[in-house]
């Protein structure tokens, strides 16, 4: 399937590492420790999810985006202010405490999927490997350090450091130039159709859409399900996989 591929780029969150699960338990822990009295953590996660879905629409605006690119703290704390506002509470100290605890508890739970290191080890001698991840510069660097994966990659592209992220085509062009590959020689492996797969197809890359069973964001709310669907008229990825090992038989040896 992927004859001629020389470079393999990966998305980070929920492709190589189990981000949503860490975020979900980090949130529960934060609200269990520092949530307002009388409000169960589960209920607060629901309020967080609603506030998050609304706030997400504002992040690309000039009011927030430049600050979001630099550091995760500003929008994470604002997100907690808005969560408390959902239940009519204004409490700056508590918002900061929740934000800090959420970050710490999430980071301490961040894990690579068990197949990630195995597959990266196998691919590293044969392909130029790269990482393309969206998010604030400080947070994405912190994740890469926590997971100890920097040494695998010839190219690391972070939205916060570049000033723009996926799905912008320029990100994919920059990635090609960093590993000196043509679009047809370049494969992208990612969990989001909209942010990873569609723009990679548009860039002329080969694509593997990874759909892990844990890939449900906490913004779906407790017990929620928000599995991303490909729009009917949108192009298909070359392959769809459930874990990274399933990629191996498709790659040139």
- Spatial distance between the Cα atoms of 184 and 182, rounded to a whole number of angstroms: 5
State how far the alpha carbon of 17 is from the alpha carbons of 76, 83, 191, in Å: 20, 26, 11
Identity of the residue, 12 or 251, whose beta carbon is nearer to Mg ion in the bound complex = 12
Among residues 85, 5, 6, the alpha carbon closest in space to that of 50 is found at: 85
Longest dimension (CA), the chain: 60
Identity of the residue, 43 or 107, whose beta carbon is nearer to Mg ion in the bound complex = 107
CB of 20 to Mg ion, least distance (A): 9
- Spatial distance between the Cα atoms of 212 and 178, rounded to a whole number of angstroms: 29
Identity of the residue, 14 or 18, whose beta carbon is nearer to Mg ion in the bound complex = 14
3-state secondary structure of 116: helix
CB of 19 to Mg ion, least distance (A): 7
CB of 215 to Mg ion, least distance (A): 8
What tokens appear for 112 in the block?
Answer: 């690579």
CB of 133 to Mg ion, least distance (A): 8
What tokens appear for 204 in the block?
Answer: 């002329």
3-state secondary structure of 140: helix
Q: Which residues of the chain form contacts with Mg ion (CB under 5 A)?
A: 11, 13-14, 191
Identity of the residue, 76 or 166, whose beta carbon is nearer to Mg ion in the bound complex = 166
CB of 134 to Mg ion, least distance (A): 8
Distance of CA 216 to the CA centre of its chain: 12
Among residues 129, 130, 116, 111, the alpha carbon closest in space to that of 16 is found at: 116
CB of 211 to Mg ion, least distance (A): 11
What tokens appear for 111 in the block?
Answer: 């894990």
158, containing H or E segment: strand 155-158
Identity of the residue, 41 or 197, whose beta carbon is nearer to Mg ion in the bound complex = 197
Identity of the residue, 14 or 143, whose beta carbon is nearer to Mg ion in the bound complex = 14
Burial label, 124 (beta-carbon count in 10 A; 0-12, 13-18, 19+): middle
CB of 89 to Mg ion, least distance (A): 32
Identity of the residue, 81 or 215, whose beta carbon is nearer to Mg ion in the bound complex = 215
Residue nearest to Mg ion (CB): 13
- At 208, phi and psi to the nearest 5? -130, 115
């Amino acid at each position: 399937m992927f004859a001629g591929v020389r470079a393999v780029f990966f998305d980070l969150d929920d492709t190589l590492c189990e981000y949503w699960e860490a975020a979900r338990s980090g949130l529960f822990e934060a609200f269990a420790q520092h949530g307002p009295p009388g409000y169960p953590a589960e209920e607060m996660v629901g309020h967080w999810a609603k506030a998050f879905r609304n706030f997400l629409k504002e992040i690309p605006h000039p009011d927030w985006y430049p600050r979001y690119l630099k550091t995760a703290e500003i929008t994470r704390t604002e997100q907690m202010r808005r969560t408390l506002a959902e239940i009519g509470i204004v409490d700056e100290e508590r918002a900061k405490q929740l934000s800090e605890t959420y970050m710490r508890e999430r980071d301490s739970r961040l894990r690579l999927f068990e197949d990630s290191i195995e597959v990266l080890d196998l691919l590293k001698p044969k392909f130029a490997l790269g990482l393309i991840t969206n998010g604030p510069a400080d947070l994405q660097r912190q994740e890469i350090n926590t997971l100890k994966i920097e040494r695998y990659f010839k190219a690391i592209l972070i939205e916060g450091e570049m000033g723009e992220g996926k799905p912008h085509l320029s990100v994919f062009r920059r990635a090609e130039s960093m590993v000196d590959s043509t679009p047809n020689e370049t494969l992208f492996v990612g969990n989001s159709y909209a942010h990873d797969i569609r723009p990679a197809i548009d860039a002329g890359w080969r694509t593997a859409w990874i759909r892990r069973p844990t890939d449900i964001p906490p913004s779906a709310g407790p017990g929620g399900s928000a599995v991303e669907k490909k729009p009917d008229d949108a192009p298909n990825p070359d392959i769809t996989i459930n874990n990274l090992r399933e990629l191996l038989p498709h790659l040139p040896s």
